[in-house]
Amino acid sequence: MKELLRRYGLTLTISFIVIVAFWLLVLVILPYIYLFEASFRLYLPIDQVNGPNDVYTLSNYSTFFVTPIHRWVFLLTIVYSSAVAAISFVVAYPLAYYLSKVATNKIVPTLFLIIMIPLWVSEILRSFAWFIILSLKGPLNFALVGLDIIEEPIRWISGFQSVIIGLVYTYVLFMLFPLYNAIQSLDTNQIEAAGDLGAPWWKIHWRVILPHAKPGIASGSVMVFMLSAGSILVPSLLGSTNSRWFTEIIQQWMFESQDWNTGSAYAFLLLLLCTGFVSLVMRLFRVSLSDIAR
Amino acid sequence: MSATVELDRVSADFGSFRAVDKVSVTIGAGEFFSFLGPSGCGKTTILRMVSGFIAPSEGHIRIGGEDMDGIRPNKRPTVLIFQNLALFPLMSVWENVSFSLEMRGVDKAARRARAEELLKIVDLPGAGDKMISQLSGGQKQRVAIARALAVEPKVMLLDEPLSALDLKLRQHMRAELRAIQKRTNVTFIYITHDQGEALAMSDRVAVMSQGRLQQVAKPEDIYNNPSNGFVASFVGENNVFDGRILASQTTSARFETDIGIFEAVLHAPPSSDAKLRLYVRPEHARLVSTAPEAGNAIAVTISDISFEGNFINIHATTDQGRVLTVETRNDGSSDIPETGSRRYFTFDAQRARILADETQAAHS
């Protein structure tokens, strides 16, 4: 604080603090508090708001537990988000290993640029692009049929598969970067030592690289899982009639039923239950929060 | 359980840079052999070629008579101890030690038992359940050696493994390494830039510079009979004089320098264009009050005396302003002159050498 004052003077220091405080309070904390408060109140006709019926209750939350279809959708969301995290890991690990231990220093920045460029395009455009790629008469089916890999076009956008593809594509980098950092920090001598001591390549990965990368795997998985479970864009664009995502139910409550109270309750439930799920999995794999923050 | 290691005109190129240049040497089975040289002289590259991490650009490496061309590190009868040891920090000590056995599919109980045996060999009994981070530097060293021994290698390659230790421990580990080598009778190839280490431990030492072997000999020969100026000045200290040969006999010559004419040992007659220098080790020089009749004396003024503990370095300045060094043992046998007093710097002709400059190592 003193350092800040000495460097920037009083006016600038105060402006910094006010701007940050405004951002934190007004743009982050207050909306959450508003939603949190709303989630405990009933959705009432406007003339009854603040009336005798407007009491704090848990009924918005209990709605979730007594609606089997919502519980089912929540379960599927968690299962498929886990699948997205797992697939992202499988996709990102070889690449992260290549970037951190195999590629020469000269080529790595170029490769990172190539990887990053799609990230500059907005998520909605990328999802639409996948919608086109995956459509029944789209380029993917055209190519697969043309190359005689499949005989009949596959209906990609059906069930959860297109959602999973879209989510993996959207969030795979959140797996790649922590993995890259984790593997990067491994002393290359250890890989060589393991090889020198007779380990075949897959055992080097299994016994030396993967254990070292565990915190990276954990933080990448948590990121991808949380982002996927909370994603609304990809599931609604790439979803089909038989794929429901939990966020879509929240959106329904809020925008179709105009019931922001239950919507808020569902949103907090999503946060709570996902956090619970993540901590459970972390305990199962013996990773602590401090490992991830490393 | 040891094997010969034969380097047959081995070279290593990195792009246009030649790190190792046609090195040929045969290392005997059960020998403790050191490559000694400044950093960047190619010694680590040689080690990595023998262990199989890099392939020679030219030449052949044979271990136990068998050509190692195309054989991967994990299939060679060698094991490398890395400079930073490269122990696995997420495994316990015994898991580290028995890692190679695990890779061979040995069952856990047998691995555990063998790890304990090996830990006893390196004088760390009962440390099996500790984690690597709980060990001291010297203990880590021992674990690395035990882990390497578990492979039952025929050749052990050591890349400056003592460089991270403090002086006392380093000296202790020198003796320890030597003892382990004698006990296991494995061929040791040791890489170091520390002449003391190389001389103290090795059966033979190869001095390297700029990718080439300068001399391969027993430690005492390296020190007493350096083959050229590089070896003389890299191993030990010297008073060096530029000059030219006036007249030469079979094993000695008269050598003219700008501060006098001296008599010194000269072996192989040098090629005409070689730059010659006269090398006198500080411990072979003496300071006397009267000019000796045999010659080989320079009038000097004592300029500085530095006390080093077991020996004393006396710096003396010639009338031309050159500073010469005389080393004398701190055992009371010689009188230490006062600073500012006049003396003669003198040496025996048999103890001084005329050597070609390190141009032999000059790079194309």
- Per residue, the 3-state secondary structure of B133-178, as one string, reads HHCCHHHHHHHHHHHHHCCCCCEEEEECCCCCCCHHHHHHHHHHHH
Mean pLDDT across B278-295 = 88
Whether the Cβ atoms of residue B146 and residue B134 lie closer than 8 Å to each other: no
Do residues A169 and A91 touch, judged by C-beta distance below 8 A? Answer: no
Considering only CB atoms, B103 lies closest to which of A187, A203, A212, namely: A203
More confident residue, B127 or B274: B127
Beta bridge partners of B78: B155
Domains held by chain B: number: 2
Query: Do B20 and B133 fall into the same domain?
Result: yes
Q: Complex ipTM above 0.85?
A: no
pLDDT range class, residue B363, cuts 50, 70, 90 = very low
- The tens digit of pLDDT for each residue in B159-192 reads 988 887 888 888 888 888 898 899 889 999 999 9
Give the residue with greater pLDDT, A286 vs A175: A175
Q: Closest-CA residue in chain A for B149?
A: A197
Residue B227's pLDDT is 87
CA distance A12 to chain B (A): 47
Domain end, chosen from B205, B229, B253, is at B229
% of chain B surpassing 70 pLDDT: 96
B103 with A200: Cβ contact below 8 A: yes
Phi/psi class of residue B328: alpha, beta or left (left: φ > 0; alpha: ψ in -120 to 50)? beta
User: What residues of A are in contact with residue B73 (Cβ under 8 Å)?
Assistant: 192, 195-196
Answer yes or no: is pLDDT of A178 > 90. yes
CATH of residue B198: 3.40.50.300
B105/A contact by beta carbon, under 8 A:
no
Q: Chain A partners of B150 at a C-beta cutoff of 8 Å?
A: 197
pLDDT digits (tens, 9 = 90+) for B109-138: 999 999 999 998 888 888 889 999 999 888
Interface of B with A in 242-281 (CB under 8 A): none
Q: Indicate whether B294 and B313 sit together in one domain.
A: yes
Asked whether the beta carbons of residue A198 and residue B104 sit closer than 8 angstroms, the reply is: yes
Give the confidence band of A188 by pLDDT, cuts at 50, 70, 90: very high
- Let me know whether B208 and B116 are in one domain: yes
The Cα–Cα gap between A145 and A288 comes to 47
pLDDT at residue number B2? 84
Domain containing B120 equals 5-229
Give Cα B206 to chain centroid, integer Å: 7
Position A282 pLDDT exceeds 60: yes
Residue B182: its H or E element: helix B167-184
> Are residues B208 and B88 part of one domain?
yes
Tell me the CATH number at B287.
2.40.50.140
* Chain A touched by B15 (CB under 8 Å): no
Mean pLDDT of B35-52: 92
Task: Point out the residue among A187, A190, A197 whose CB comes nearest to the CB of B79.
Answer: A197
Does residue B296 share a domain with residue B162? no
Residues of A with Cβ-Cβ distance to B88 under 8 angstroms: 190, 193-194, 207-208
Q: How confident is the model at residue A107 (pLDDT cuts 50, 70, 90)?
A: very high
The one-letter code for the residue type at B64 is G
Contacts of residue B109, Cβ cutoff 8 Å, sequence gap at least 6: none
Q: What is the pLDDT of residue B140?
A: 92
Q: Are residues B220 and B291 in the same domain?
A: no
Query: What pLDDT was estimated at residue B272?
Result: 64
**Per-residue pLDDT tens digits for A115-127:** 988 888 888 898 8
Between the alpha carbon of residue B276 and those of residues B323, B357, B358, the distances in Å are 20, 6, 9
Per CB-CB distance under 8 Å, the chain A contacts of B79 are: 196-197
Contact B74 A192 (CB under 8 A): no
pLDDT for the residue A240: 81
Cα–Cα distance, A164 to A77 (Å, whole number): 11
Encode pLDDT of B320-346 as tens digits.
888 999 999 888 777 788 888 899 999
pLDDT at B359 over 60: no
B68 and B166 fall within a common domain: yes
β-pairing verdict for B155-159 and B17-27 = unpaired
- Specify the higher pLDDT residue, B246 or B94: B94
Contact A197 B72 (CB under 8 A): no
Average pLDDT over residues B221-232: 90
Using the Cβ of B71 and the Cβ atoms of chain A, whether some distance falls under 8 Å is answered with no
Nearest-CA neighbor of B232 among B69, B58, B358?
Answer: B358
Q: Which residues of chain A lie closer than 8 angstroms to B90, CB-CB?
A: 211-212
Element (H, E) at A6: helix A2-22
CB contact under 8 A, A200 and B86: no
User: What does the pLDDT average to over A238-250?
Assistant: 87
Last residue of a domain, one of B229, B255, B271: B229
Nearest residue, CB atoms, B73 vs list A189, A195, A207? A195
Nearest CA to CA, how far is B133 from chain A (Å)?
A: 15
The per-residue pLDDT for range A118-155, each reduced to its tens digit, is: 888 888 898 888 889 988 888 888 888 888 888 888 88
Q: Are residues B274 and B172 in the same domain?
A: no
pLDDT of residue B48: 92
Interface test with A, best of B51, B80, B96, B152 (most A CBs within 10 A): B80
pLDDT at position A293: 62
DSSP H/E element including B342 = strand B342-347
Reported confidence tier of residue B361, pLDDT bands at 50, 70, 90: very low
Say whether residue A101 is in contact with chain B using an 8 A CB cutoff: no
Which residues contact residue B222 at a Cβ distance below 8 angstroms, ignoring those fewer than 6 apart?
A: B36, B199, B205, B207, B215, B231, B235
* Average predicted confidence (pLDDT) for chain B: 88
My answer on whether B154 and B246 are in the same domain is no
Residues 205-244 of B with CB under 8 A from A: none
The answer to whether residues B218 and B259 belong to one domain is no
**Is the CB of A196 inside 8 Å of chain B's CB atoms?**
yes
For residues B178 and B274, state if they share a domain. no
Between A and B, how many residue pairs show a Cβ–Cβ distance under 8 A?
55
Out of A190, A192, A199, whose CB is closest to B103? A199
Range of weakest confidence among A223-232, B292-301, B319-328: B292-301
pLDDT above 70 (res B269): no
Sheet containing B276-280: order of strands: B239-242, B276-280, B353-356, B260-265, B252-257, B244-248
Q: What is the predicted pLDDT for the residue at B270?
A: 66
Asked if the Cβ–Cβ distance from A196 to B51 is below 8 Å, we say yes
A67-293 under CATH 1.10.3720.10, yes or no: yes
A43 band by pLDDT with thresholds 50, 70 and 90:
confident
A172 CA: distance to closest CA in chain B (Å): 27
